[in-house]
A and B are shown apart, each in its own frame.
Chain A
């Protein structure tokens, strides 16, 4: 088991973020929480109750409207694969306000809101159905990084949640090739996009 601590600028870590616990696990954040000091959106993706899955591409659901502020951050997971990766994202959010969306390659926000550029999918819902982690599936194109966008409104700041990301070679949960899994264990990077945008004076 290999553990890699990540300094997430907008995430207050209450447990060490771990990567590549098993061959198929690309990211296991453990319990983390927004600390209320990061950038915000005025809106976030619309929750349409439809989780994306590996069988059908999901269109960007649009925005929920200007009811923010929504604190947000991104987590980028490079996938030097040479083949598409079947990714399954589980979010354990007992407080029910975190919303996770997946993008490929990069995430480029608009002026105060997320956009659908490079969008892959989302869970359609926040919270834990029947107390269980919610989940969704996306297929990441070959050699493209996976970018997760995490948003949470102000009332949810400080409430812990966890994100577990698994990668597979096909929709039958076949393991990723070993070299790729090994590479992933060394390359989980958090909030790269956010840091770059701050450096460039981007809109928070």
Chain B
């Protein structure tokens, strides 16, 4: 174990924690310390594994104490893993030799996604080409739709609890035997719709149109100025766009007939077709644009590759609504680096800011700040490790549990973390350890720990500790859960990258004014779930420190990016099942992308910087005065952006 250095412990912090020293019983602290001692015994190949793979391996070897074995998954028959290191022929051959399958790889990113037998994880990690091997912590789209929301989110979000309670009450009290015969006998069900047969031919553009078409004044640009996005190719990345749904929407006029799904990239068959809902919005805003789709849900590698593929297909506007939980917070990862590549080639890239809440409206589930040792007052971990003081307490209470993973990241470079932090979840009385993430960081791994959100409930306690190394800036993200001690700076990853136009969400009728153009001022505010910024980064994409020797927030290290950049409409109508209305920054991002397509027709040669200038020009200031952490530069408007383009 490395020595602890530069631990920050002030007298004031220690005094503040003294009264709370019993928040974690000594018996629980002893178990945490036991994990630390176990960690000190790991073999070199075991140090390359993330916590989930490590615990499964140790469990299979009978090396875990009983209490830890009980909360550790049994080794699965096969594990889908991400292998970071050198993508060599010998490593690929080794994966095949052990019965594994390489699903995707990127030599440039040094990343392989593969499925391998669980009992062969250690053999793979023994390869000198392997720097780190970890499970795929997953991804999410950033929609928030009653028909599509993650089941666990739906169960635990107070809004959904109220909806579901009422719906269940209706179901419970419904008397089918009485009602249905009555309705049928009265001829009430089908006959009244006969007049619809005559009405269906009335729709002008598709069966449904996004309200954003009006609220962003795209209708003025299309009808009065004559710009429709004609000649502009817009690429969309989301979970899926099935052939059947695309065909149905083309038939109804809600997607253009020349819509293209890149071969083999329609996404998983279990997908929600969120990509078609996004494309519908763009088509409503810019009906002349040609739309392309590729999935972002296969893997990080595939997502990055598909960004490039859409650029290669001729797309000059690309938009996505996906977040991978493992993406770097303080440095561009593979997805953000793909964004850098396409923007350098002239593509304007937009992404959803995320739906993980914001400080202003009390919905943040993120804590970001520098590590502060709780010192001895926070509890003694025999054998090493210092508990983190979140702000007067060593536990951060989960006040709303979404079911999504909880991640801890810190300000070390990707694939180069030499400071070792760990993450624990305790029950509400701190008497039981429910989750453990204690991956090893010795200089070549990512600064990343993650625990599954499955089975976590409101009241559970989040604990972080520095097992070895130096204080760093920390980012705890609960990904749509909420915590008692929280901060701003929720948006992260490629969704908040320097070259991404990060889009916050505002409901089209938040001001209760109806389907009318947005106005500046206090009438409109961003959605309560819209992720806020800003985003501080400490490293260049290649891992070079932006401010060498200063990687703490308190000393103003790194660089602060103003994120999100702009705001656009959500809660709009689409015809894709499950997305009417379509809530979330997933809907806002294509609303903004549609505006960008209109501008691109006006100025095909616009660089991304010029496009940003147009989108930001005369945007409508909402939330805080001027540029702010919630709405960025405010609501982008099609008429104003095009007017700017016509004169610049």
Q: Is the CB of A131 within 8 A of B528?
A: yes
> Contact partner of A173 among B159, B188, B219, B512, CB < 8 A?
B219
CA distance A63 to B188 in the complex (A): 12
CB under 8 Å from chain A, chain B span 136-182:
144, 146-147, 159, 162-163, 166-167, 169-170, 172-176, 179-180, 182
Q: Which chain B residue has the least Cβ–Cβ distance from A139?
A: B199
Q: Which chain A residue has the least Cβ–Cβ distance from B160?
A: A129
CA distance A22 to B159 in the complex (A): 32
Q: Is the CB of A55 within 8 A of B173?
A: no
CA distance A92 to B510 in the complex (A): 10
Q: Which chain B residue has the least Cβ–Cβ distance from A171?
A: B203
Residues of A within 8 A of B489 (CB): none
Residues of B within 8 A of A170 (CB): 202-204
Q: Is the CB of B202 within 8 A of A129?
A: no
CA distance A20 to B176 in the complex (A): 41
CA distance A141 to B192 in the complex (A): 11
> Contact partner of A172 among B159, B162, B203, B575, CB < 8 A?
B203
Q: Which chain B residue has the least Cβ–Cβ distance from A172?
A: B204
Distance of A128 from chain B, by nearest CB (Å)? 9
Q: Is the CB of B170 within 8 A of A132?
A: no
Q: Does A183 contact B (CB under 8 A)?
A: no
> Contact partner of B166 among A126, A132, A171, CB < 8 A?
A126
Residues of A within 8 A of B219 (CB): 172-173
Contacts A49-B167, A64-B170, A164-B512 given; does A55 touch B183 at CB 8 Å: no
Q: Does A180 contact B (CB under 8 A)?
A: no
Residues of A within 8 A of B527 (CB): 130, 132
Q: Does A7 contact B (CB under 8 A)?
A: no
Q: Is the CB of A60 within 8 A of B183?
A: yes
Q: Is the CB of B514 within 8 A of A166?
A: yes
Interface size on B, residues (CB 8 A): 57
Distance of B161 from chain A, by nearest CB (Å)? 11
Q: Is the CB of B509 within 8 A of A116?
A: no
Q: Is the CB of B174 within 8 A of A53?
A: no
Residues of B within 8 A of A62 (CB): 174, 176, 179-180, 183
Q: Does A1 contact B (CB under 8 A)?
A: no
Q: Is the CB of A65 within 8 A of B175?
A: yes
Q: Does A66 contact B (CB under 8 A)?
A: yes
Q: Does B211 contact A (CB under 8 A)?
A: yes
Contacts A24-B515, A53-B580, A110-B182 given; does A139 touch B196 at CB 8 Å: yes
Q: Which chain B residue has the least Cβ–Cβ distance from A105?
A: B192
CA distance A119 to B190 in the complex (A): 10
> Contact partner of A64 among B174, B180, B528, B580, CB < 8 A?
B174
Q: Is the CB of A130 within 8 A of B529?
A: yes
Q: Does B208 contact A (CB under 8 A)?
A: yes
> Contact partner of B188 among A46, A49, A54, A60, CB < 8 A?
A60
Residues of B within 8 A of A151 (CB): none
> Contact partner of B581 among A51, A171, A173, CB < 8 A?
A51
Residues of A within 8 A of B207 (CB): 53-56, 171
Residues of B within 8 A of A172 (CB): 203-205, 209, 213, 219
Q: Does A47 contact B (CB under 8 A)?
A: yes
Distance of A47 from chain B, by nearest CB (Å)? 5
- Name, among B144, B182, B186, B192, the residue most crowded by chain A CB atoms within 10 Å (CB to CB): B192
Residues of B within 8 A of A84 (CB): 199, 202
Instruction: Mark contacts of A75-96 with chain B using CB atoms, 8 A cut-off: 1 yes-contact digit, 0 otherwise.
Output: 0000000011000101010001
Q: Which chain B residue has the least Cβ–Cβ distance from A56?
A: B207
Residues of B within 8 A of A71 (CB): none
Q: Does A125 contact B (CB under 8 A)?
A: yes
CA distance A173 to B514 in the complex (A): 11
CA distance A80 to B338 in the complex (A): 57
Residues of B within 8 A of A67 (CB): 169, 173
Contacts A63-B175, A173-B214 given; does A53 touch B208 at CB 8 Å: yes
Q: Which chain A residue has the least Cβ–Cβ distance from B527?
A: A130
Q: Is the CB of B173 within 8 A of A125?
A: no
Residues of A within 8 A of B192 (CB): 60, 116-119
Q: Which chain A residue has the least Cβ–Cβ distance from B525?
A: A131
Residues of B within 8 A of A24 (CB): 514-516
> Contact partner of B573 among A22, A60, A137, CB < 8 A?
A137
Q: Does A25 contact B (CB under 8 A)?
A: yes
- Name, among A51, A54, A127, the residue most crowded by chain B CB atoms within 10 Å (CB to CB): A54
Residues of B within 8 A of A59 (CB): 189-190, 193
Q: Does A34 contact B (CB under 8 A)?
A: no
Residues of B within 8 A of A133 (CB): 509, 512
CB under 8 Å from chain B, chain A span 97-120:
110, 115-119
Distance of A142 from chain B, by nearest CB (Å)? 9
Q: Is the CB of B581 within 8 A of A135?
A: yes
CA distance A80 to B208 in the complex (A): 24
Distance of A194 from chain B, by nearest CB (Å)? 20
Q: Is the CB of B509 within 8 A of A135?
A: yes
Residues of A within 8 A of B183 (CB): 60, 62, 115-116
Q: Does A15 contact B (CB under 8 A)?
A: no
Q: Does A174 contact B (CB under 8 A)?
A: yes
Q: What 8 additional pairs, Cβ within 8 angstroms, besides A47-B170, A65-B175, A168-B515?
A: A46-B174, A54-B203, A55-B203, A127-B159, A130-B529, A172-B213, A173-B219, A174-B204
A-B contact pairs, 11 of them (CB 8 A): A49-B167, A60-B183, A63-B179, A64-B169, A64-B170, A67-B173, A132-B571, A135-B581, A139-B202, A171-B205, A172-B203
| Top 6 closest pairs, chain A to chain B, by CB | A65-B173, A116-B188, A55-B207, A57-B193, A64-B170, A171-B203
List chain A positions with a Cβ less than 8 A from chain B. Answer: 22, 24-25, 43, 46-47, 49, 51, 53-57, 59-60, 62-67, 83-84, 88, 90, 92, 96, 110, 115-119, 125-127, 129-133, 135, 137, 139, 141, 162, 164, 166, 168, 170-174
